[in-house]
Amino acid sequence: MFSAGSGLARAAELVARTLEDRGSIVSRIDLTSCLGLTPSPNATSYLSPADCYNLNISDVVFVANPDQAAIATFDRSWLVERTIIGHWIWEIETLPKFWIKATRTYDEIWAPTDILQKCFAKNLRKFSGPIKVVPYSIASEPFPLVDKQHRAAIRADHGISISSFVAGYSFSVDSNYYRKNPEDAVRAFFAAFPVRGTEQLLLRCNDLNHRPFERKMLESVIGGDPRVQIFDSSNRISIADFYSLIDVYVSPSRSEGYGLNLVEASQCGLPVITGGWNLAAEVRDLPGLVEVPFTLIPLKDPQGHYADLTGAVWSAPDISALAQAICRSKELRFSA
């Protein structure tokens, strides 16, 4: 889904770069519109499945999970003559049962991290094909460091003083509101700054209107506090400009298959605060990453993404520790 403007779009590009770094010739085939999704307004033009039938293609890598009907967008007779690979991303230690059945369609399964490779190997014991680690090429064309002049300009555009301390979190409700857990970002911010001052919290969620009930829940936690601002589809901001606005990236996510936003924010030179459950080694080693304690709790998901899982858990980051880390980040910002 190269043109979707989502984390999976970024993941697809990074997988493509990994393969190119290894010497493969890569054709980028975009499935966004084929799957009924809306391309990002500034999306690049890509090839479609119909464009590849005359190309010399030996392997088809789907950077999409099996609950997305990506394979059905290709002609079956053409596809079965090629190696079919699924590059999957998952956040929990237990896989959905239909993923296990879906492996019958694939010749290989790839994971972006050692942690996920072990998870897949454990859950897909009947799969006879290889399960490999093919990482994201995160060092290839990294996000640039935040430029001070650009920060001043973008803050002026949004009415934010350059002297204000700004925390931020970017998430997608389609990737699961309850997993992304934005409410705890708000709670941690309020715990860090109980007395109203110039500090601000910015939340970026382009698809927030997809979940009206959850939006009301989030707004209830915010309680009309003017220090908290939401960027959604009505006032979009690019992820690069979002990183330029903030001083610290705070992720209270309960689980991440990888955490590309953590990588991007760190590459921009921002301190990053997150829970430490199941972090990939290369994410854990990011400059400026602060891990806070967490507890594992039963997975509860009214959104229904994990409906067929039993006994699954995810993490609850310590809100007090998140708040302390935010305060510490402010101290370091103004002592620099």
Q: How do residues 234-289 score in pLDDT, each as one tens digit?
A: 999 999 999 999 999 999 999 999 999 999 999 999 999 999 899 998 899 999 99
Residue 164: partners with Cβ closer than 8 Å, 6 or more residues away: 155, 198, 199, 200
pLDDT tier at 314, thresholds 50, 70, 90: very high
pLDDT of residue 167: 98
pLDDT of residue 138: 87
The superfamily in CATH containing domain 148-335 is Glycogen Phosphorylase B; (3.40.50.2000)
The CATH 3.40.50.2000 portion of the chain extends over 148-335
- CA–CA dist 95, 199 (Å, integer): 40
- Name the H helices within 170-293: 177-180, 182-192, 212-222, 239-245, 260-267, 281-284
Averaged confidence pLDDT in the chain: 93
Do residues 91 and 301 touch, judged by C-beta distance below 8 A? Answer: no
| pLDDT of 223 strictly over 70 | yes
Amino acid at 36: G
- pTM, to two decimals: 0.90
Closest CA to 268 of 293, 239, 290: 239
Q: Give pLDDT tens digits for 87-144.
A: 999 999 999 888 888 999 999 999 999 999 999 999 999 999 999 999 998 888 789 9
For residue 250, the SS3 value is: strand
